[in-house]
Amino acid sequence: MTGWTEQDVPAVEGKVAIVTGANVGLGFETTRVLAKRGATVVMACRNQQKANAARDLVLSHGVAPERVRVSALDLADQGSIEAFADEIKAEYDSLDLLINNAGLMGLAESKTADGFDTQFGVNHLGHMALTLRLLPVLNETAGARVVTVTSFGHRPGRIRLDDPNFEQGRHGRWRAYFQSKLANILFTAELGRRLDAAGAGTLSTAAHPGYSRTELGKDDPGLRATLFSFSDRIVAQSAAAGAVPTLRAATDPDAVQGALYGPRMMAFGTAVPETPSRTARDAELAAKLWDLSMDLLAPAKVSW
């Protein structure tokens, strides 16, 4: 089983890619490498000031300015997702890569603009809505891929089919996070099955970064953020290394429908194919989550 490093990422000259949460961490590193390899990258970010600063940093690596643009996207707001997707479809007649990278981890209980649990709403429902809105242009592009970034935190995850937004049961920040990351894997698999059934050529793949030094999980001050900072220095791999599984999921010519890539040692190491948890391989659960998600997204008029 051969592992990839950044040097194994092939040229992607002329391809168009969208990276959500591209202004920091894994998203920034993914953007940097794709742009250096020749892609035109749309940095889809909520904070435009930070996104523009990140774009300048990407350009400092010798990337031509026309290769990188910034566009507003708030995955916690279905209206923002619709506006972003409409903008992309108006400006591009092809889309080679959609990299669903943005995410939140370990947040206290809160709701999105549409009333979803924030972690479930952003990490899963936001990216699902974005993907479905962009599928028409993806499916018109030969060899297109959707890459959804998950976590090894999907392994303890459970889907609360009767209460995914914690409106009845007690909320737990890690319970909510693990659910959202399991949902990412189940969505990846079900999307792939539906693409194949429809005869579309688009691939749906997934990746996780292991334990990488990013800003994820440091939204809250105090002991937890301090512990993250300490363990980052001792254990974690760099964000650049953590982005390689995503880059492999996006560019490996041998990738297959539903493939998952992660670090060789789960937390760190070169990027290799990985087998998701047994729950994440439950096709019946994936179909149920899909139907539930479509019901939740119905007010946003997302169509498949």
Active site residues: 177
Is residue 147 within 8 Å of 205, Cβ to Cβ?
Answer: yes
Is residue 45 within 8 Å of 23, Cβ to Cβ?
Answer: yes
Distance of alpha carbon 261 from its chain centroid, rounded? 13
Is residue 206 within 8 Å of 257, Cβ to Cβ?
Answer: no
* Euclidean distance between the first and the last CA atom of the chain, given in angstroms as a whole number: 36
Q: In whole angstroms, what is the distance from residue 22 CA to residue 50 CA?
A: 10
> What tokens were used for 69?
């643009």
Q: In whole angstroms, what is the distance from residue 204 CA to residue 196 CA?
A: 10
Cα distances from 96 to residues 34, 289, 294, in angstroms, run 12, 26, 24
Rounded (5°) CA angle 170-267-164: 20
